Structure 1
Amino acid sequence: MLVNVSRDWANFVRDRRSDLGLTQADLAHRIGRARQWVVRFESGHAGSASVDSLMAVLNALDLYAEVAAADDGADSDPMFMDVVDPWDVPKAHP
């Protein structure tokens, strides 16, 4: 699954935690944080989490992340990608 924004992290972690039958308190205990931290993370505030905290969450949920840089240096956010109409035939320039 491609995760671009903190809301994606929140949804992914909540779904995985639920699939494993864990409560927010269970996850908090596994990562050594307060339950309220998990609540905030799953509410979309994952962007404020440290790398160490994120790694603890992934380890507690038996997950891993791959990080890759864009080859062309362009913004990989799909909201900022150019949209091309496939039916729009480019016009020849004289």
Structure 2
Amino acid sequence: MIQAHLQQELLEIHRKNQELAAQLLAKRIISSEELKRILSPEQIKLGEILIKERLILKYELEQALKEQTMSRKKLGEILIERRIIFPFQLERVLRKQGYQIK
């Protein structure tokens, strides 16, 4: 009985989430790409992709992350300012991550 009730509640939550997503899209509050990104179960972190692609080294990421906590700048911005990566490299990685570049 508890399992059936739980399943019913989960279905109701799912239905409400679908309605909310449809409203956000209809009102153009978010794009379909943004919705996909938000709903993706696991988004790979920017630093992980940059290391995997051999664009930065682990210690460079660690230093940039430390600076990020103090400055509140975006990680990509810090890496570009430090001339560790180029803007075109950041754009390519952000696209892989699912962000829409304007």
Q: Same fold (TM over 0.5)?
A: no
Normalising by structure 2, what TM-score?
A: 0.30
What is the TM-score of this pair, normalised by structure 1? 0.32
